[in-house]
Structure 1
Amino acid sequence: MATLTVTVPEDSKQNIEGLVRINAPLEKVFEAHINPDLFTKWFMRGNEVIVKHYEGKTGGSWHIAEKDPEGNEYDFCGSYHEVATNERIIWTFEFLGMSERGHVSIERIDFKKIDENTTEVYMHSTFMSQADRDGMIASGMEDGFRESVEALGDY
């Protein structure tokens, strides 16, 4: 089980923050973020995820496609700037279905052990512009994020 809180800070035009509490050990939650075999079980709302390239390490990169129930594929990619085991991930995130490239966000994900079976995950996303952030919100990001977190909690 997992709980999620998503906020759009009032003092920021380009950020979204999320706080997740997951009933699972820290090591398992962290591994589910960097291991492609585990990542595909929960990321993208639990839809089928096709791994095109995935190196979950500092300096690595990733490219995946989400396949929805109708068979449509949506590609996403990014780069890992930092992977600090069981502590933090800093990566970029880009949806490749935009009419032009360059709508990239940078995300910092911090992992905190609450107890042996509870982990808190804090995510801070910064977008290139307020329009990019607002577009992500309008796309249903919060619902998709919630569904992904629930899938992670179930995993």
Structure 2
Amino acid sequence: MAHLTVTVPENSQNILGTVTINAPLEKVFEAYTKEELFASWWCRGNSMKVYDFDCQDGGSWHIAEQSEDGNEYEFRGCFHEVAPHERIVQTFEFLGMPERGHVMLEKAEFVAIDEHTTEIRTHSTAMSQSDRDGMVASGMESGWRQSVEALGKLLEADD
């Protein structure tokens, strides 16, 4: 079972998250970096259109979630570093904002707790504290939790 803990430090532009999942590090990293796996869990397990997914240093991604309420939500970013089985550094932007440029820089570190358990430690930094607070107020934690649960279901079914 995948578990998410989110911390939103006061007077900060950061969001910190820790995901603990009962799956080997290699499988978890692959679920983040292989398009067909990523597309099956990242948008809360909802249907996703993938416009671009080039998961390598300097690559980019652009996806659209097809939500249960019939709406479409687009996101995009750039991969700054993809260090196999160690970390991913990327940007994240929700394209539904009235103006562009509300970008977050995200670092996800992948740590093998044991051969069957992986921890993903994320550090996301917004352009401003108000951008960070807007992200939190948007329901970000609930959506993230649903995505983590979909990731758990994907990887547990694979065992």
Could you say which TM-score interval applies, normalised by the shorter chain? over 0.9
- Residue type of the partner of 1:3? H
Match of 1:117 in 2: 116
Q: Deviations over 1:64-85 (max 9, x none)?
A: 0000113211110000000000
Query: In terms of mean alpha carbon deviation, does 64-73 or 92-101 score higher?
Result: 64-73
Match of 1:103 in 2: 102
1:141 and 2:140 equivalent?
A: yes
1:54 and 2:44 equivalent?
A: no
Match of 1:23 in 2: 22
Q: Report the Cα distance in structure 2 between the residues aligned to 1:95 and 1:8, rounded to whole angstroms.
A: 19
- Residue type of the partner of 1:133? R
- Residue type of the partner of 1:5? T
Match of 1:72 in 2: 71
Match of 2:4 in 1: 4
Where 2:96 maps in the other structure, the secondary structure is: coil
Match of 2:157 in 1: none
Where 1:135 maps in the other structure, the secondary structure is: helix
- Residue type of the partner of 1:8? V
Deviation at 1:44, TM superposition (A): 1.4
The alignment yields a C-alpha RMSD, in angstroms, of 0.8
TM-score, length-scaled by structure 1: 0.97
Match of 1:150 in 2: 149
TM-score, length-scaled by structure 2: 0.95
Q: Report the Cα distance in structure 2 between the residues aligned to 1:75 and 1:25, rounded to whole angstroms.
A: 30
Q: Deviations over 1:55-105 (max 9, x none)?
A: 011110000000011321111000000000000000000000100000000
Where 1:110 maps in the other structure, the secondary structure is: strand
State the aligned residue count: 154
Name structure 2 gaps, 5 residues minimum: 155-159
Deviation at 1:50, TM superposition (A): 0.8
